[in-house]
Structure 1
Amino acid sequence: MKILIANTLYHPDSVGGAEISTRLLAEGLVKAGMEVCVVCATGAGVDRISRLNGVKVYHLRSVNVYWPHKPKKHSSVVKLIWHAIDLHNVIMSRKLKNIIARERPDIVNTSNLSCLSIDIWRVARNANVPIVHTARDYYLMCPTSTMFSGAKPCERQCGMCSLYAGPKRAASASVDVAVGVSRFVLQKHVDNGFFPSAMRTEVISNCYVPLDDAVPMKRASKYESGPVRLGVLGRVSPEKGLEVLFEQLLADHSLEWTLAIGGKGDAEYLGELKENYADPRVEFLGQVKPGEFLEAIDILIVPSKWNEPFGRVTVEAYSHGVPVVAANTGGIPEVIEPGSNLLFDMEQPHTLIDKLRDAVKLLQDTSLHDRLRQYAEGFSVAAMVDAYIDVYQTALTKPVLKNVA
């Protein structure tokens, strides 16, 4: 079976979890005996082909008014023009058509299509190639891909987003199998009219790969005493809910704690956090090695205000035997280890402290760390690859059309 995967970015260009998941899927499919090529966009240089771990990668130079992954502010008018071009990018569409004609894949698996254009669905359909789409975020529904505005998640599409999503919604009728990285993100799309002709919808969780920057140690089976070491890991940005965490921790006097924050963010926003929540118990570490960071804390906190589609850092923490206290937002509840029951209600932020107390008690459980590591094994690369091969087999049952335009 030959699979063509289309995603906005691919290694070595990476800004988040979508790129990690795409690479793990592509390389996992190769190990499973599939032939795989990837199409991605790049903001520099010229169109080129590279090969990495058995994967053939087409890097297509983006053709639009600006490259969105370069930090720079643009006016609303320029952004509107960018999105209009991105919707049906004629030049990128021509490039994609040529690649599909050259590679002749059995399946086209799309995910984030910013900079590539949803025109790939039309191109694949006209070439009689079945289409599997993976919803990794809210790109099809929201210009920012986050559905987060005014410091809170959007319960529904606003008028502007609905207008933006209209052509994408119509084009999604070409998708034969729709996959979501969580039930939450998949249902959000289905409820808003996406993938109306899909022969199957399926949830396939993202996987994690053991972090190679630290060998997981056999943690002490019992939390001894003193301040509990709390940690937050990932991009530092408003939707991640750090303000909620700070306000609850600083208002509470029942817990002894220290807090380490690992990750980069906008300099201005970081400055505001450090000024507004100055406390000697809080340390901003900047970019860290995730494995080493997780080995240095007792409890990870994921206080996301936005509806995280999945939340890979939770599984990464479990792979190190670290319990996770997380908000009940988006797809996070689907990832939380059920035996720990450490979800707090973002609508009632004081429950965060309650769950932290529960987590500290759980640290006394001699079986906790091994149980969490075992739970993480359920999110393996092999399990994800097997699930995708299964949906590809479903897509291949699509009837062949005749006289395709």
Structure 2
Amino acid sequence: MKICIASQTFAPEDEGGAEISARMAAIELSRRQHDVTVLALGLEGDPVAPVGTYRHPEGFTVVRIPYHNWHLPAARQSAAGVLKKLEWHARAAWGAASRADITRVLEAGRFDVLYAQNSVRMQPALFTAARRLKMPIVWHLRDYAVLCPKTNMFRDGKNCESECIDCRLLTSRVGVGAGEGITAVAVSNAVRERILKHGLLTKSQWHVLYNTNTSEQKFDAALMGREAPSSDVFTFGYLGGLTEAKGVGDLVRAFAALKGADGARLLVAGRGRDDYVAHLKELAAGKPVEFLGHVPPERIYALADVVVVPSRWIEPQGRIIVEAAVYGVPLIGTDRGGIPEVLKGYGMGWCYDPDVTDALSGLLDRALSIGQQAWWAQRDALFPGIRGYQGTAESSRYYEKIEAILSGSSSHLASA
């Protein structure tokens, strides 16, 4: 197949989970002998993402078209002020990506299918051009960008039950509506249900495909399927953004409140705003909490006896819960979004309600009271889904499923 992968942000730009998945899809589909072109956004003269075309070392083509805004969409939020951010979002909403530029690329490529990833900043031009060319559209949804410019529907410490007025204004021109002719792929049932609840993509053909898309080659083979502790201190691990939505503050407070915290440690890996990181360090003052900054994920998987995913937002389905299980590490996570679908559904961890006082500290204390040696000796009884979990791309046949969805989309052509 000739496949156009649309990804507004693409390596070597900074990557979040969606960007990593788009890059991995380009690599894996190319290795499967498909002719792959990545359509991304660029800025004239940008040192990282300049406008133009080049051949990627992994065997696919990258085409960057101009983005008519003062900075590119980014995996992490800009540090600009409120008014400047509003200006940027307004420009993005009114079409900073040119339909003429997108149409030119799609027409020249004569693609069999458009495989849209994180591409809301290319709308409405992207789908308008694809429909005009009668090109099948497969849209992989990994967040709530179609409903919220911040992508997480989380504001002032709470999850939004409906679209905020300003969000509705800024996303209205995405223009997906009922999604006729679109094949939608969600990373969890939670994502699918939330988008359908808001009346979008109700006429699309839906698939749910969990993030088991990392090849075995990308895992540290020496760590896969761990069955024993790697230190003599019971270690809780956190890996991710240091933000309120991610719930890391809840984790630090819960750990600091443990009566037995002196016999354990908490490793916190990730980046955040300087003021929020300083706040977290104040919460952890005097406790065995180590802030590691941005480190390779394997550092946490190698040391943690349990990985904690304390998300307050309705997280779609993070890569961490899959990766930790592949490495043999049990998890504790909130009962929100796609987290319980994997942890409870596959028997790989415990879940709790973050709105219930002491719920998290109770589970941390429960794990600690079992004891480190017994924790690992009883792992398979406590978490029967970890051993043999099909969390790699090969074991889950992830890219075979993607190929089937892409090839099958031709029978679900977009309307002109």
User: TM-score, structure 1 length as denominator?
Assistant: 0.89
After superposing the two structures, state which structure 1 stretch, 112-121 or 310-319, moved more.
112-121
1:235 to 226, 238, 241: 241
Deviation at 1:358, TM superposition (A): 4.7
Counterpart-to-counterpart distance in 1, 2:132 and 2:285 = 58
Secondary structure of 2:36's match? strand
Give the structure 1 partner of residue 142 of structure 2: 136
Deviation at 1:290, TM superposition (A): 1.3
Per-residue deviation, residues 312-345 of structure 1 (Å, max 9, x unmatched): 0111111211111111111111222632441111
> Mapping of 1:291-306 within 5 angstroms?
291-306=298-313
The one-letter amino acid paired with 2:182 is D
After superposing the two structures, state which structure 1 stretch, 118-127 or 25-34, moved more.
25-34
Secondary structure of 1:167's match? helix
1:249 to 255, 259, 267: 255
Q: Are residues 1:98 and 2:98 paired?
A: no
Secondary structure of 1:375's match? coil
Deviation at 1:218, TM superposition (A): 7.5
Counterpart-to-counterpart distance in 2, 1:366 and 1:170 = 45
Change (3 A) 1:306 1:399: closer
Change (3 A) 1:188 1:135: same
Deviation at 1:128, TM superposition (A): 0.7
Percent of residue pairs bearing the same amino acid type:
27
The one-letter amino acid paired with 1:142 is C
Secondary structure of 2:412's match? coil
Deviation at 1:109, TM superposition (A): 1.3
What CA RMSD, in Å, does the superposition of the two structures yield over aligned residues? Answer: 2.8
Counterpart-to-counterpart distance in 2, 1:97 and 1:333 = 41
Give the structure 2 partner of residue 374 of structure 1: 388
Give the structure 1 partner of residue 195 of structure 2: 189
Counterpart-to-counterpart distance in 1, 2:299 and 2:97 = 44
Change (3 A) 1:214 1:173: closer
Alpha-carbon contact 1:10-1:19 (below 8 Å) kept: yes
Give the structure 1 partner of residue 397 of structure 2: 383
Counterpart-to-counterpart distance in 1, 2:180 and 2:172 = 14
> Mapping of 1:151-300 within 5 angstroms?
151-170=157-176, 173-198=179-204, 200-206=205-211, 207-210=213-216, 212=218, 214-217=220-223, 221=227, 227-254=233-260, 256-300=263-307
Counterpart-to-counterpart distance in 2, 1:324 and 1:146 = 22
Deviation at 1:42, TM superposition (A): 2.9
1:58 to 41, 63, 74: 63
Secondary structure of 2:11's match? coil
Alpha-carbon contact 1:309-1:331 (below 8 Å) kept: yes
Give the structure 2 partner of residue 150 of structure 1: 156
Change (3 A) 1:105 1:13: same
Change (3 A) 1:13 1:381: farther
Secondary structure of 2:149's match? coil
2:347 to 300, 318, 339: 339
Alpha-carbon contact 2:116-2:140 (below 8 Å) kept: yes
Q: Unaligned stretches of 5+ in structure 2?
A: none
The one-letter amino acid paired with 1:203 is V
Alpha-carbon contact 1:262-1:287 (below 8 Å) kept: yes
Counterpart-to-counterpart distance in 2, 1:400 and 1:328 = 36
Give the structure 2 partner of residue 354 of structure 1: 362
Deviation at 1:9, TM superposition (A): 1.2
Change (3 A) 1:352 1:208: farther
Counterpart-to-counterpart distance in 2, 1:240 and 1:400 = 36
Deviation at 1:267, TM superposition (A): 1.4
Change (3 A) 1:204 1:400: closer
Secondary structure of 2:308's match? strand
Counterpart-to-counterpart distance in 1, 2:313 and 2:226 = 34
Secondary structure of 2:80's match? coil
Change (3 A) 1:11 1:81: same
The number of residue pairs the alignment matches comes to: 400
Counterpart-to-counterpart distance in 2, 1:247 and 1:291 = 25
Alpha-carbon contact 1:321-1:371 (below 8 Å) kept: no
Deviation at 1:396, TM superposition (A): 0.3
Alpha-carbon contact 1:215-1:291 (below 8 Å) kept: no
Deviation at 1:153, TM superposition (A): 1.7
Counterpart-to-counterpart distance in 1, 2:16 and 2:335 = 21
1:311 to 310, 318, 341: 318
